[in-house]
Amino acid sequence: MLLLRCPLLLLLLLLPLHCRPQKLPTRDEELFQMQIRDKAFFHDSSVIPDGAEISSYLFRDTPKRYFFVVEEDNTPLAVTVTPCDAPLEWKLSVQELPEEASGEGSGDPEPLEQQKQQITSEEGTELFSYKGNDVEYFVSSSSPSGLYQLDLLSTEKDTHFKVYATTTPESDQPYPELPYDPRIDVTSLGRTTVTLAWKPSPTASLLRQPIQYCIVINKEHNFKSLCAVEAKLSSDDAFMMAPKPGLDFSPFDFAHFGFPADNNSGKERGFLKSSKFGRQTPPKPRVDLHRICIGNKNIFTVSDLKPDTQYYFDMFAVNTNTNMSTAYVGTFARTKEEAKQKTIELKDGKVTDVFIKRKGTKFLRFAPVSSHQKVTFSVHSCLDAVQIQVRRDGKLLLSQSVEGVRQFQLRGKAKAKYLIRLKGSKKGASMLKVLATTRPNKQSFPSLPEDTRIKAFDKLRTCSSVTVAWLGTQERNKFCIYKREVDDNYNEEQKKREQNQCLGPDTRKKSEKVLCKYFHSQNIQKAVTTETIRGLQPGKSYLLDVYVIGHGGHSVKYQSKLVKTRKFC
């Protein structure tokens, strides 16, 4: 039996922790400021309900704690934490449940006092911790009984967050499931319009649950959650403004401080909604961010955009029964120019992002300002292969297909001008990073060996480790290796479909990081390094990625490697 749905017993259990009376602030300013400085005065411990998403607020550097009780061993448990507009540090731990709390309470104060001492004196066993702004979760098919404690902290700024906990994760499934290809395709591009298409969520097509899709458009970056979008949209509202001690607090605010309204599980809740009690703050500039919910369609044309402007598009599948959402893989696109498309000018040594629609063409121009002996072109195709042609003063020098990362070094010529023609893939839109330079020793892209495969040593596989090797170069670079557990039926086609090759290690979860190290060798024949990855589970499949990071901060990913540990040792 789990007490998430019946928090009364848990409240009785925690009652001694808060038996000291809390005074509301008085009009005595000196006393009020003294109370503000007393952190214990504002301490708020809450009970997490089972099967409902709660929304709450964190002040910077002020931790918040939630509790729930599991009375029986071998209980399934899933906890999901969604940061909104700032990274979070959070930790889930469990303490042994006092014997008095697991049976019928007598109501005598003696046992409750003993329970208080037990709870406060024991640190508890840490089950999981995370730091970052990803939607992260803890899942266990068999959890022990005990008092569970969720601690959250924001060190950057005041922020919102959401928490969801359930003991029936298999049947609940409140978050919509993503399709096998979670990308958004740009199917048509105009001067003021962009047409997007995506695969429907299996939650709608197979489970027949009510799903609606919401598109988010902005000019800054992609979003990882709908919660982050809502925080950005509300950044100029009282909902997002942290109260200023001594100025914005009022007795009315304190009556509801930190406690969401009843009978509103799974819905957005206001925070200090009444503004007449607080200090009036001038409105902030309007956020250039738009959200459009379009029902259950899986193709949509965004209109009224500005020509020659780069936009970021995010898609969220929202379960209208639970009001909970899941993010597709976002994309970006630049609208066409008003007049005839002009050639993009490349600057020496600067990486340029290029977007090409399906079967589209882009022209780039490179005109070095000084005489040069050689010129190097580096092209990083993020998705599918593209065709590249390079002409110098009208003469064709190069015509090849590029997939992944390629570098081309051509002989220079005084006052020469280079025209680069890029033709997109027939499969879909293309994204590239292009670098042209006359100074090969000062490239932003890291140098790469001819072979960017990761080799796994089958004879060195164990039940808990794998050993891999990869080639380096004569240039000293930083290498970072990441691992991710995948299903046994994961294949190369899935790997290619899911991954944007231009996404760097900053997009990976911290828990997936294995290590980073610097490596090079003056003898190119010996420029190879090995690494043993430990702490793996027997008979499990893992996807390994190696990133090489150049001096300019740009990273390039080696070809992913799928490995599997031995099942029996």
So what's the pLDDT on residue 378?
A: 86
Do residues 511 and 430 share a domain?
no
Could you give the CA distance from residue 569 to residue 531 in angstroms, rounded to a whole number? 21
Task: Enter the DSSP assignment of 197.
Answer: E
Query: What backbone torsions phi and psi does residue 147 show, to the nearest 5 degrees?
Result: -95, 115
Residue 28 lies in a domain: no
Residue 537 lies in a domain: yes
- Helix residue spans in 59-201 (DSSP H): 99-102, 109-121, 169-172
- Domain end marker among 304, 339, 374: 339
Indicate the pTM of the whole model.
0.43
Secondary structure of residue 131 in the 3-state scheme: strand
CATH number of the domain to which 541 belongs? 2.60.40.10
Give me the residues of the chain with pLDDT under 50, please.
Answer: 1-45, 101-117, 120, 236-282
Do residues 189 and 323 share a domain?
yes
So what's the pLDDT on residue 524?
A: 83
Residue 327 lies in a domain: yes
Do residues 196 and 299 share a domain?
yes
Do residues 359 and 221 share a domain?
no
Task: Enter the DSSP assignment of 206.
Answer: T
Do residues 433 and 367 share a domain?
yes
Tens of pLDDT, residue by residue over 370-387, are: 778 888 888 888 877 899
Residue 354 lies in a domain: yes
So what's the pLDDT on residue 564?
A: 93
Do residues 352 and 458 share a domain?
no
Close Cβ partners of 441 (under 8 Å, ≥ 6 residues apart): none
Do residues 372 and 426 share a domain?
yes
Do residues 54 and 136 share a domain?
yes
Which residue's structure tokens are 């208080």? 116
Task: Enter the DSSP assignment of 121.
Answer: H
Residue 320 lies in a domain: yes
Do residues 484 and 361 share a domain?
no
Could you give the CA distance from residue 560 to residue 354 in angstroms, rounded to a whole number? 24
CATH number of the domain to which 358 belongs? 2.60.120.680
Secondary structure of residue 413 in the 3-state scheme: coil
Domain count, the chain: 4
Do residues 197 and 328 share a domain?
yes
CATH number of the domain to which 152 belongs? 2.60.120.380
Do residues 205 and 216 share a domain?
yes
Residue 402 lies in a domain: yes
Token pair listed for 338: 């008003």
Tens of pLDDT, residue by residue over 127-153, are: 999 998 888 889 998 888 888 889 999
Tens of pLDDT, residue by residue over 507-552, are: 889 999 999 999 888 888 888 999 999 999 999 999 999 999 877 7
3-state secondary structure 24-55: CCCCCHHHHHHHHHCHHHHCCEEECCCCEEEE
Residue 110 lies in a domain: no
- How many C-alpha atoms does 500 have within 13 Å on its Cβ side? 19
Do residues 301 and 381 share a domain?
no
Q: Residue 96 burial by CB count (10 A; 0-12/13-18/19+): exposed, middle or buried? A: middle
Please provide the DSSP assignment of 154-175 as one string.
Answer: -SSS-EEEEEEEES-HHHH--S
Residue 281 lies in a domain: no
Range of the domain at 180: 175-237+287-339
So what's the pLDDT on residue 426?
A: 82
